[in-house]
Structure 1
Amino acid sequence: MKRTNKDNETSISRVTRRSLVLGGLQLGVAGVLGWRMRQMQVEQADEFRLLAEENRINMRLIAPERGLIFDRNGIPLAENAQNYRVVIVREDAGNVEDVLNRLRQLIFIDDTEMERALKEISRRSSFVPVTVTDQRTWEDISTVAINAPALPGITPDVGLTRNYPLGQDYAHVVGYVGPVSDYDLSKIDDPDPLLQIPKFQIGKTGVEQKYEPDLRGKAGARRIEVNAAGRVMRELDRDPGVPGADVQLTVESKLQNFAEARLALGLSAAAVVMDVRTGDLLTVANAPSFDPNKFVRGISVSDYGELTENKYRPLANKAVQGAYPPGSTFKMLVSLAALEDGLLSSDETVYCGGYTVLGNRRFHCWKRGGHGRMNLDQSLQQSCDVFYYEMAQRVGIDRIAELARKFGIGERFDLPMSAVTAGIMPDKDWKRSRYGEGWLVGDSLNASIGQGYVLSSPLQLAVMSARIASGNAIQPRLVKSIDGIETPVVGADPLDVNEGHLRLIRKGMFSVMNTNRGTAFRSRIDRDDLRMAGKTGTSQVRSVVVSNSDVPWEQRDHALFVGFAPYDDPRYAVSVVVEHGGGGSSAAAPVARDIMLYALHGELPPLESYPSGERGRVEETFAALELRSDFRPSRSGRSPA
């Protein structure tokens, strides 16, 4: 049908309006797009540039190299070893379980390790790298690297892990590191970001724990470029951070190894060797010990059970944590208190008939038949209990306690080891505060022979011996330097004690070892220039007097010994405690003599330093020692330097 002009005009009008509307809409959209493009390109350019960079560039924390720990001669006690590992970043991985299943097809990962990794992944932020498996071979790492495109979020990595090359020798001194736990984090108000890295290692015990901030160092960072699949293309830059400080200890590794091996011939024991002049701790030994390397990655349940269920307590640092009745090793301080108060002279005698009567109770001497008349020197030489019962009644516990504290008994020394004990040096106020009871004279008699409430550690007994030998208030020192800066020697001032009285005590200790009636005569050193002074001790752990051979091991008496050498020019002090070892003269003194001779000679001591009748037994003992092969020098017989 033919359209009219009017129809054509109407149609044209409608098209024109539509065109205008459509054109307007198009112009509006274009305007909005233009405005938005301008906003994005100009006003928000920095923001989007940053977002693009975040998609292309990742920042990763770099754990600093942990500081090393050395002995006094530079032998490494704690070092860092390479650790090949595989890590995953959850936000880069996508389907985590799928990626991990693909990874397990390439390298073996046991179920326990996988469960641990999945648990860590769920607990950590999505951008935090989580270690899936570590301690891998180079072949494993190469396999993962070659297959990286099929493993988004997975990265082969090499880090450092702690290693203790001397194993159990320093387990109780150096301690060990382990993965950061929730408990560790709960004790820190503002935790270092490093501690959030899964399996990051921090000190758990010993020097590793006490010097954690110094040893840890400061974190570094690296910027890496990744492609759209998340694969690392290149490293853009790296800040390695600040390595931890190196710590040098005062201990001497050959002596420590010998002491550990010598103690291990018994069942449960501890020994401390201290430099009389500086306070340096040369040996802090415990037996049995354990391998700290097992704790670094997390010890197995079975291995940990073996340690905790062992009645000889290998995890305990007996040398500083153990608190034992000092027994007769305490008698030097009782007699010194009497001398200082003018209540005893060197030639005065006390009669020992085998016991002292107090009220309706008898306090027996260890020698039931009695010693007869005893002067100071003889009372120490033969360890007469009755002599010290008398001194305790003359002096009183408060004065004894006051003097004993001057010599380190009851003092907690500030050393970087775990759970250093203060022991107990009781007095009247202590008992009233602790038990709400008054002090009894019988308490003083028990304390006078190192029993009752008195408790001390092998460390305190070594300090006591060093202070008797030197006459100075020397303090024990374990850290020699930190990053090369020497730790000062503290406490070299003279004790406020009469030097003449100290000489009498030293002379009595000399008699203990070098006169044929001395309790440690069989454990003497048979060289005039190296003569040793000492004191044996036996502390009861049960109230009923029964022969040690008739009771189980854990009910037997503790054996103790303290001493110093050489007598004329003291260099070292030693203390030994053999738990439930029986008598101090038979169980502790021979061990202390062997350790002292090793310290004086700097190596396995020559048989010529021993009495001729003892040399065969000593040679058998040395043959049984399990010394490190690199610490077993040939016996040269040379004199000490």
Structure 2
Amino acid sequence: MRRTPRDTEESTRGVRRRALLMGGAMAGFVAVLGARMRYLQIDQADQFKLLAEENRINIRLIPPARGLIFDRNGKLIAGNEQNYRIVITREDAGDVELVLKRLSQLIPLTQDEIDKTLKEVERRSSFVPIIVADRLSWEEFSKIALNAPSLPGVTPEVGLSRVYPRDTDFAHVVGYVGPVSEKDLEGIENPDPVLQIPKFQIGKIGVERWTEDLLRGRAGQKRIEVNHVGRVMRELERIEGDPGNDLRLTIDADIQNFAQVRLGEESAAMVAMDVETGDVLAIASGPSFDPNLFVRGISRKDYSVLTENDHRPLANKTVQGLYPPGSTFKMVTALAALQDGVITPGTGVYCPGHYEVGGRRFHCWKRSGHGTVSLHSALAESCDVYFYDIALKVGIDKIAEMGRLLGLGQRHDLPMSAIAAGVMPDKAWKQESYGQEWRIGDTVNASIGQGYVLTSPLQLAVMTARIASGKAVTPRLVHAIGSEVQPAPEAPPLPIDPQYLAEVRRGMFEVMNAQRGTAKSSRIVDETMLMAGKTGTAQVRNIGTAERESGVRKNESLPWRLRDHALFVCYAPHDKPKYAVAVVVEHGGGGSTAAAPLARDLLLRCLTGGMPPLSAYPAAQRGRIETQLKEMKLRSPDSPMPGKSRA
């Protein structure tokens, strides 16, 4: 059937309409597509360029060089050394265990170390490098570099590691560094991103820990090109960070070495201070340990040796150890009584060898008694009864007030770990601590540094420095930060009558130089360096009535842990004090025999700037002292120090 012209015209119009509709739709689609392309390529170009860059380029932190630590004279005591180490990246290694076994044929690598590395590899992302071994020798490092083609994923690296060239001398003072732990991060509110670097090391104890923010520095960064799975292709840019601040301590490294060697294997502590500035010149705790063991990762065997030693080498006895001060506390009782006006220097007290209070008998160390004694002779001969008597007259609250004034019962602010505040008890303290009333017998015990009174060697050194100088001197350990010297704070005068301080100093002088002084055998005979001091013996066991009647057992006959603590405090020169020293020997027996000789030697080392001269000792002792000093294995003051700087 033929189509009419009308049908053809209508069909043509229909086709034309459909073509227009389709063309319009296509034009609209193209317009929308063009607008979107313009939005993406022009309006949002910067944003998408940034996203593309972030996918292609990563920024990684560069650990900063840790600040160095020096003594007051610029001798290195904590430095950095080049550390050759090996890292492995799981993504590049493939069969990590196989690669590690190949690696163990080139360098010493135990199965335990391999297993530890495998666990660490599983914990981390596939492209994060894991340290397999560090502190390699140059020969080991070179051997691995030469065999790199057969060790996929293994990369030799050169970094910096902490080193303590004076090993045991500063272990308790400077401390050591170690890898960041989860516990470390928990204590930091906004942790520095650099702390997230695997095995990044921070201070764990001592100066290293308490000045961490100063020593750490600021991390640098490097821009590296990576592929889509995170593999490093090349380094594009490196920006070095800022190294940590160097620190200079107030301690003299040679005096510290003398103190540490002089202590030997004794369970003891010594502190030497400048009485005017408060600078701590030596603060030694014995026995010590090598902090380098902890930096490198201490073995179980080495750690067990330290923890099982009954002399507790890991404990810092200078600030952490708390001991009854014994008779070294008698200056506190005397000054409280003088200041309160209940006695004068000439006030006499009769000592029959004991003192009765409320039907209880308190004994003097001298069973036969001292007869009538005054302040000076009571200090010189360390008569207990004299101080029992005056303590009951003045009362515990004023004694405690005087103790705190002299630095006892306070936590002194030094950058060291576990600094203890000690106990300077009074009536309110006992009520708060035990819910009990203070008793007369408590005052009697406290008057001679027993009972509840507890002090640290540092506090005893501060007490002695304040008595010697008449000023409220405070101890300090940091001499300079970077090139900026930290000025010593001006110490105000103590609110104690200078005449009373002079009388107590006279008593301390007689301890060393009077015919019946308890430490006469440890005196200095050089007229320019005469010393003043006070012995102390602190009981660690109760002595029953039966034992007193039959005779108190001598320390030498007792097990070591039941022997008395030996204490001694001193300063010199007596007429123009420069240095104060405090010594505590755990279970050492008598203060005059165990602690005083140590203190005298350290005091002479401070005064002379070198080995104690034999002429300063009593003639009868010089042969023995000469042998003793020759046998001391000291570091040579001029010997080159190992360890490297930031290079």
Give the TM-score taking structure 2 as reference length: 0.88
Decide whether the 8 Å contact of 1:276 with 1:470 is kept in 2.
Answer: yes
- In structure 2, relative to structure 1, the CA distance for the partners of 1:375 and 1:160 (3 Å cut) is same
- In structure 2, relative to structure 1, the CA distance for the partners of 1:132 and 1:54 (3 Å cut) is farther
- In structure 2, relative to structure 1, the CA distance for the partners of 1:102 and 1:37 (3 Å cut) is farther
Structure 1 position 188, deviation (Å):
2.0
Structure 1 position 598, deviation (Å):
0.6
Match of 1:519 in 2: 518
Q: Tell me, in whole angstroms, the C-alpha distance in 2 between the residues paired with 1:45 and 1:97.
A: 46
Q: Tell me, in whole angstroms, the C-alpha distance in 2 between the residues paired with 1:390 and 1:312.
A: 37
Structure 1 position 116, deviation (Å):
2.2
1:620 maps to which of 627, 639, 645: 627
The answer to whether the aligner puts 1:336 opposite 2:358 as a matched pair is no
Structure 1 position 485, deviation (Å):
1.8
Match of 1:112 in 2: 112
Decide whether the 8 Å contact of 2:127 with 2:231 is kept in 1.
Answer: no
Decide whether the 8 Å contact of 1:381 with 1:512 is kept in 2.
Answer: yes
For residue 475 of structure 1, give the secondary structure of its aligned residue in structure 2.
coil
Match of 1:580 in 2: 587
Match of 1:408 in 2: 407
The answer to whether the aligner puts 1:181 opposite 2:188 as a matched pair is no
Decide whether the 8 Å contact of 1:472 with 1:491 is kept in 2.
Answer: no
Q: Once structures 1 and 2 are overlaid, which stretch shifts more, 317-326 or 178-187? A: 178-187
AA aligned to 1:608 is S
Q: Deviations over 1:78-132 (max 9, x none)?
A: 0000001112334444544444344445544222222222222222344433211
Within-5 A mapping of 1:392-407: 392-407=391-406
Within-5 A mapping of 1:488-637: 488-490=487-489, 492-544=491-543, 545-630=552-637
Match of 1:79 in 2: 79
Decide whether the 8 Å contact of 2:462 with 2:474 is kept in 1.
Answer: yes
Within-5 A mapping of 1:446-465: 446-465=445-464
Q: Give me the CA root mean square deviation.
A: 2.8
- In structure 2, relative to structure 1, the CA distance for the partners of 1:41 and 1:84 (3 Å cut) is farther
Q: Tell me, in whole angstroms, the C-alpha distance in 2 between the residues paired with 1:451 and 1:49.
A: 76
- In structure 2, relative to structure 1, the CA distance for the partners of 1:303 and 1:460 (3 Å cut) is same
Match of 2:3 in 1: none
For residue 525 of structure 2, give the secondary structure of its aligned residue in structure 1.
coil
- In structure 2, relative to structure 1, the CA distance for the partners of 1:422 and 1:551 (3 Å cut) is same
Q: Tell me, in whole angstroms, the C-alpha distance in 1 between the residues paired with 2:137 and 2:336.
A: 65
Match of 2:62 in 1: 62
Q: Tell me, in whole angstroms, the C-alpha distance in 2 between the residues paired with 1:336 and 1:235.
A: 71
Q: Deviations over 1:255-305 (max 9, x none)?
A: 1101111111x5211000000010000000111000000000221111001
Within-5 A mapping of 1:285-434: 285-434=284-433
Decide whether the 8 Å contact of 1:475 with 1:491 is kept in 2.
Answer: no
Decide whether the 8 Å contact of 1:59 with 1:223 is kept in 2.
Answer: yes
Q: Tell me, in whole angstroms, the C-alpha distance in 2 between the residues paired with 1:358 and 1:331.
A: 19
Q: Tell me, in whole angstroms, the C-alpha distance in 2 between the residues paired with 1:557 and 1:104.
A: 54
Decide whether the 8 Å contact of 1:152 with 1:230 is kept in 2.
Answer: no
Structure 1 position 165, deviation (Å):
0.4
- In structure 2, relative to structure 1, the CA distance for the partners of 1:209 and 1:493 (3 Å cut) is same
Decide whether the 8 Å contact of 2:254 with 2:637 is kept in 1.
Answer: no
- In structure 2, relative to structure 1, the CA distance for the partners of 1:449 and 1:107 (3 Å cut) is closer
Structure 1 position 568, deviation (Å):
1.0
Match of 1:283 in 2: 282
AA aligned to 2:419 is V
AA aligned to 1:243 is P
Q: Tell me, in whole angstroms, the C-alpha distance in 2 between the residues paired with 1:218 and 1:557.
A: 50
Structure 1 position 197, deviation (Å):
1.6
Structure 1 position 181, deviation (Å):
1.7
Decide whether the 8 Å contact of 2:382 with 2:518 is kept in 1.
Answer: yes
- In structure 2, relative to structure 1, the CA distance for the partners of 1:105 and 1:268 (3 Å cut) is closer
Match of 1:196 in 2: 196
Q: Deviations over 1:539-590 (max 9, x none)?
A: 0000115321221001000000001000111000000001100000111111
Q: Once structures 1 and 2 are overlaid, which stretch shifts more, 287-296 or 114-123? A: 114-123
Structure 1 position 237, deviation (Å):
2.3
Structure 1 position 140, deviation (Å):
3.0
The answer to whether the aligner puts 1:240 opposite 2:240 as a matched pair is yes
Query: What is the number of residues matched between the two proteins?
Result: 603
Match of 2:12 in 1: none
Match of 2:11 in 1: none
Q: Deviations over 1:480-510 (max 9, x none)?
A: 1111222232351001000000000000000
AA aligned to 1:558 is H
Q: Tell me, in whole angstroms, the C-alpha distance in 1 between the residues paired with 2:569 and 2:476.
A: 19
- In structure 2, relative to structure 1, the CA distance for the partners of 1:36 and 1:615 (3 Å cut) is same
For residue 159 of structure 2, give the secondary structure of its aligned residue in structure 1.
strand
Give the unaligned 5+ runs of structure 1.
Answer: 1-32, 633-641
Match of 2:479 in 1: 480
For residue 582 of structure 1, give the secondary structure of its aligned residue in structure 2.
coil
- In structure 2, relative to structure 1, the CA distance for the partners of 1:292 and 1:442 (3 Å cut) is same
AA aligned to 1:187 is G
Match of 1:88 in 2: 88
Q: Tell me, in whole angstroms, the C-alpha distance in 1 between the residues paired with 2:146 and 2:165.
A: 34
Structure 1 position 49, deviation (Å):
7.1
Decide whether the 8 Å contact of 1:324 with 1:456 is kept in 2.
Answer: yes
Q: Tell me, in whole angstroms, the C-alpha distance in 2 between the residues paired with 1:64 and 1:81.
A: 13
For residue 207 of structure 1, give the secondary structure of its aligned residue in structure 2.
helix
For residue 597 of structure 1, give the secondary structure of its aligned residue in structure 2.
helix
Structure 1 position 606, deviation (Å):
1.2
For residue 174 of structure 2, give the secondary structure of its aligned residue in structure 1.
coil
Structure 1 position 239, deviation (Å):
1.0
For residue 172 of structure 1, give the secondary structure of its aligned residue in structure 2.
helix
AA aligned to 1:533 is A
For residue 173 of structure 1, give the secondary structure of its aligned residue in structure 2.
helix
- In structure 2, relative to structure 1, the CA distance for the partners of 1:143 and 1:116 (3 Å cut) is same
Decide whether the 8 Å contact of 1:130 with 1:197 is kept in 2.
Answer: no
AA aligned to 1:261 is V
Identity of matched residues, %: 61
Q: Once structures 1 and 2 are overlaid, which stretch shifts more, 97-106 or 82-91? A: 97-106
Decide whether the 8 Å contact of 1:128 with 1:197 is kept in 2.
Answer: no
- In structure 2, relative to structure 1, the CA distance for the partners of 1:190 and 1:96 (3 Å cut) is farther
Match of 1:129 in 2: 129
Structure 1 position 213, deviation (Å):
1.1
Structure 1 position 54, deviation (Å):
6.9
Structure 1 position 624, deviation (Å):
2.5
Q: Deviations over 1:394-451 (max 9, x none)?
A: 0000000001100001011011101001110000011111111101111000000110
AA aligned to 1:389 is Y
Q: Deviations over 1:341-373 (max 9, x none)?
A: 111111111100000011221101000000001
AA aligned to 2:133 is T
Q: Tell me, in whole angstroms, the C-alpha distance in 2 between the residues paired with 1:48 and 1:380.
A: 85
Q: Deviations over 1:310-368 (max 9, x none)?
A: 00000111011110000000001101111101111111111000000112211010000
Q: Deviations over 1:132-159 (max 9, x none)?
A: 1111122333343344455444321100
Q: Once structures 1 and 2 are overlaid, which stretch shifts more, 37-46 or 599-608? A: 37-46
AA aligned to 2:270 is A
Decide whether the 8 Å contact of 1:558 with 1:583 is kept in 2.
Answer: yes
Q: Tell me, in whole angstroms, the C-alpha distance in 1 between the residues paired with 2:232 and 2:156.
A: 11
The answer to whether the aligner puts 1:206 opposite 2:206 as a matched pair is yes
Q: Once structures 1 and 2 are overlaid, which stretch shifts more, 118-127 or 606-615? A: 118-127
